[in-house]
């Protein structure tokens, strides 16, 4: 179970990095699309579901949304559940912290759009904290696995 804990924690950290990469890909493509003469306005946003955008990297926005809305929260729940059985020192606390940070991340991203764009600052900064917490959890599981197991003294 300790190995599962470590793999899930590492996966969360990797997905946080991918989240940033997805958004930069989408935004860089958007700016290129605009530089080429296209216009991003309300009609493009409202028609997004029926007529997806065509710029290179537009899929990055979708990947960011799907992995941040579904995949990372699912892995956070799995990490918390596994933490009760993995016997990693401070493993439950670290998994709990990761879940709390995922909730903050989700809420900051969700509420940043409808009129509270300053929450984007929290969303961006919290990503670094979440990344660090996930790595700390993985490292704790790895360090605990590398520790020599105590054995009972041999009977004489």
| In the predicted structure, residue 135 carries a pLDDT above the cut 60 | yes
**DSSP E strand stretches across the chain:** none
**Residues 36-50: tens digit of each pLDDT:** 888 888 888 888 878
| In the predicted structure, residue 110 carries a pLDDT above the cut 60 | yes
Tokens of 148: 């020599």
| In the predicted structure, residue 147 carries a pLDDT above the cut 90 | no
Instruction: Give Cα separations from 2 to 6, 25, 64, 135, 143 (angstroms).
Output: 6, 35, 29, 14, 10
């Amino acid at each position: 179970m300790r190995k599962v804990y470590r793999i899930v924690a590492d996966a969360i950290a990797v997905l946080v990095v991918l989240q940033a990469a997805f958004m930069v890909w989408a935004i860089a493509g958007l700016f290129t699309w605009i530089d080429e003469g296209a216009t991003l306005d309300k009609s493009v946003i409202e028609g997004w579901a029926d007529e997806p955008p065509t710029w290179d990297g537009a899929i990055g926005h979708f990947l960011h949304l799907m992995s941040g809305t579904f995949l990372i929260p699912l892995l956070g729940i799995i990490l918390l559940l596994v933490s009760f059985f993995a016997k990693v020192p401070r493993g439950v606390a670290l998994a709990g912290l990761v879940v709390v940070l995922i909730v903050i991340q989700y809420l900051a991203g969700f509420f940043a759009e409808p009129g509270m764009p300053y929450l984007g600052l929290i969303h961006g900064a919290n990503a670094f904290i979440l990344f660090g917490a996930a790595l700390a959890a993985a490292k704790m599981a790895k360090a605990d696995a590398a520790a020599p197991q105590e054995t009972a003294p041999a009977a004489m």
